Structure 1
Amino acid sequence: MTINCKGNLIDLSTPKVMGILNITPDSFFAESRNTTNNHFLSKAENMLNDGATFLDLGGYSTRPGAADISVDDELARVVPAVELLHNNFPEALISVDSFRSRVAEESILAGAAMVNDIAAGNLDENMMKVVAKYQVPYIMMHMRGTPQTMSGLNKYENMLQEIMFYFSEKIKAARSLGINDLIIDPGFGFSKNIAQNFEQLAKMEFFRELGLPVLAGLSRKSTIYKTLGCSPEEALNGTTVLNTIALSKGASILRVHDVKEAMEAVKLTEALKN
């Protein structure tokens, strides 16, 4: 299973790690916030040295209840950061974490190689058209509503079946536009409560039936720290446990704040598999 990033075929038969680079002032995990260019570049360099294949750059906080910001404000955060990364690490594969087509397009023009859309096109009807235009890989996540409303939209009759139907519709729409490289993200913590997140993780191999790479975004989320009775800053060990479970159930990409520990999980689970 491969995806094409800037002419590079990335083989996902061995799971890859995506490092999270937040350029938001209110990310739920305080240590992921980047305050200066030097801090930002140092963190990116460390992630690449630790083995990250992708760097996921986001300028819009999607934690539950986060404040909405304008497209112009998001552009002002994201595009200069993409340019800074691309100029300093030209070989790095940059993912832009946005649900807005204008942010995605300007980021691609600035050097981004992938689009990570929490709404899978639901919040911007032009998003898939932009992805198709530039033929970059597209991560489609499951979410209901918006970051501001999603917490109250977690009532399902059959959650897994409804999510599978959602993805089958999104895949059909993307394919109709000629998008070749698709990745699905079940959306841990988005329109799902803690019990639903654990149910989804326990049955994550179900999503492999779609025939696409699956991304797991569990890093330091409330499912971990609320279950353990700790803080996001204390949730690294719990993150590694759940990442390991996700890998055992077929995750192709781990999206994480802590690349070194995620790479260790990948190496050990691959050694066990082999």
Structure 2
Amino acid sequence: MQKHSSSINYYSVNCNGKLVDLSIPKIMGILNLTPDSFSDGGKFNNERSALEHTEKLLKEGAEIIDIGPQSTRPNAEFLSAEEEIKRIGNIISLIKKELPEALISLDTFYAETVKFGFNEGIDIINDISGGHFDDKMFDTVAETKLPYILMHVNPSYETMHNKIKFADITLSLNQYFSEKTTELLKKGVNDIILDPGFGFGKTVEDQMKMIDEVEYLGFEKFPLLIGISRKSFIYKPLGKSALDINKETQKLHFKVLQQGAKILRVHDVAEAKKIVDEFLNQKFLLEIQV
């Protein structure tokens, strides 16, 4: 990973030999291959619909496509690595062939699925478990030399959604990130992206505090990915549904961009793209006034 400036958090990550500059925030569009995801289950779990949705996400402004073969919502069906691989099928290689401009992130907590995805041509590994659910994950990531998204989560699949009230959520996140990044760096994983883990085992109050304190996460050493799209900590206090909080979500997206977030993981790419453009325009106007 290269940090281009000591005063401004500009980063790049090496995706299969392609240097991806994160000085301009990127949008990661979500492609769920699952029949049981909370808001879009069953919509894109065949080759044709997956390819069409990927094309739509790219046209709307996504540069990264996050492919998820397994839902991690509460009470979701638990799949083995073999079942994940079967569900993915030829979709990765098909997207790579038909839409080669897409950077593909694979959302899995299995080393075996990572190996399969690597052979199919993925560019980024997105592990919601922080290596907790498969003790071979970190070594496998090191072998691929791909960027790794490290998410904060409770230490087991069974407890990942158990709500914990942290004494200081920001301090706890940074302690976790410090330990995990040290382990990853020792294994030779240099391109690390941090995900605070919104929606996983945290109270509404702590998650709102996380939004307010994004700038303090990660010690300014690693780029931050923020995944708040359709999360219950936004819609439940408002008495709304996951599909009815776009306005509120985009306000929070703008807030985290102002604090240095580099990747937004979203379902609604077109709306997020408007917010990224608005943020960049405001930043440009502030810079020319200085």
TM-score above 0.5: yes
2:97 is aligned with 1:97:
no
* Aligned equivalent of 1:247, options 232, 257, 278: 257
After the TM superposition, which of the residue ranges 216-225 and 145-154 deviates more from structure 2?
145-154
After the TM superposition, which of the residue ranges 181-190 and 140-149 deviates more from structure 2?
140-149
2:39 is aligned with 1:34:
no
After the TM superposition, which of the residue ranges 26-35 and 192-201 deviates more from structure 2?
26-35
Report if the CA contact (8 A) 1:63-1:147 is conserved: no
2:88 maps to amino acid = V
- The whole-number CA distance in structure 1 between the counterparts of 2:143 and 2:160 is 30
Report if the CA contact (8 A) 1:32-1:257 is conserved: no
Q: CA deviation at 1:32?
A: 7.7
Secondary structure in structure 1 of the residue aligned to 2:73: coil
Q: CA deviation at 1:60?
A: 1.0
Larger Rg belongs to:
2
After the TM superposition, which of the residue ranges 227-236 and 95-104 deviates more from structure 2?
227-236
Counterpart of 1:47 in structure 2 is 57
2:190 maps to amino acid = N
- The whole-number CA distance in structure 2 between the counterparts of 1:104 and 1:134 is 9
Counterpart of 2:214 in structure 1 is 204
Counterpart of 1:194 in structure 2 is 204
Report if the CA contact (8 A) 2:177-2:218 is conserved: no
Counterpart of 1:10 in structure 2 is 20
Percent of pairs identical after alignment? 39
- The whole-number CA distance in structure 1 between the counterparts of 2:89 and 2:142 is 20
- The whole-number CA distance in structure 2 between the counterparts of 1:193 and 1:79 is 36
Q: CA deviation at 1:183?
A: 0.2
Secondary structure in structure 1 of the residue aligned to 2:280: helix
Q: How does 1:121-200 map to 2 (within 5 A)?
A: 121-200=131-210
After the TM superposition, which of the residue ranges 109-118 and 77-86 deviates more from structure 2?
77-86
Counterpart of 2:275 in structure 1 is 265
Secondary structure in structure 2 of the residue aligned to 1:94: strand
After the TM superposition, which of the residue ranges 125-134 and 76-85 deviates more from structure 2?
76-85
Report if the CA contact (8 A) 1:204-1:249 is conserved: yes
1:170 maps to amino acid = K
Report if the CA contact (8 A) 1:99-1:121 is conserved: yes
2:69 maps to amino acid = G
1:25 maps to amino acid = P
1:219 maps to amino acid = S
Counterpart of 2:7 in structure 1 is none
- The whole-number CA distance in structure 1 between the counterparts of 2:190 and 2:133 is 21
Q: CA deviation at 1:150?
A: 2.2
- The whole-number CA distance in structure 2 between the counterparts of 1:139 and 1:202 is 21
Q: How does 1:100-119 map to 2 (within 5 A)?
A: 100-119=110-129
Secondary structure in structure 2 of the residue aligned to 1:115: strand
1:87 maps to amino acid = K
Structure 1 pair 115–229 and aligned structure 2 pair: CA distance change class (3 A)? same
- The whole-number CA distance in structure 2 between the counterparts of 1:259 and 1:214 is 18
Give the alignment's TM-score, normalised by structure 1. Answer: 0.95
Q: CA deviation at 1:202?
A: 0.7
Counterpart of 2:81 in structure 1 is 71
Q: CA deviation at 1:143?
A: 0.2
After the TM superposition, which of the residue ranges 76-85 and 12-21 deviates more from structure 2?
76-85
Secondary structure in structure 1 of the residue aligned to 2:167: coil
Secondary structure in structure 2 of the residue aligned to 1:151: coil
2:176 maps to amino acid = Y
Q: CA deviation at 1:102?
A: 0.4
- The whole-number CA distance in structure 2 between the counterparts of 1:272 and 1:116 is 30
Q: CA deviation at 1:153?
A: 4.3
Give ranges in structure 2 of 5+ residues lacking alignment: 1-10, 285-290
Structure 1 pair 31–68 and aligned structure 2 pair: CA distance change class (3 A)? closer
Structure 1 pair 169–32 and aligned structure 2 pair: CA distance change class (3 A)? farther
Report if the CA contact (8 A) 1:66-1:147 is conserved: no
Q: Write the deviation string for residues 104-151 of structure 1: whole angstroms up to 9, x where unpaired.
A: 111011011110001111111111111111110000000003454223
Give the alignment's TM-score, normalised by structure 2. Answer: 0.90
Where in structure 1 do 4 or more consecutive aligned residues deviate above 6 Å? none
Give ranges in structure 1 of 5+ residues lacking alignment: none
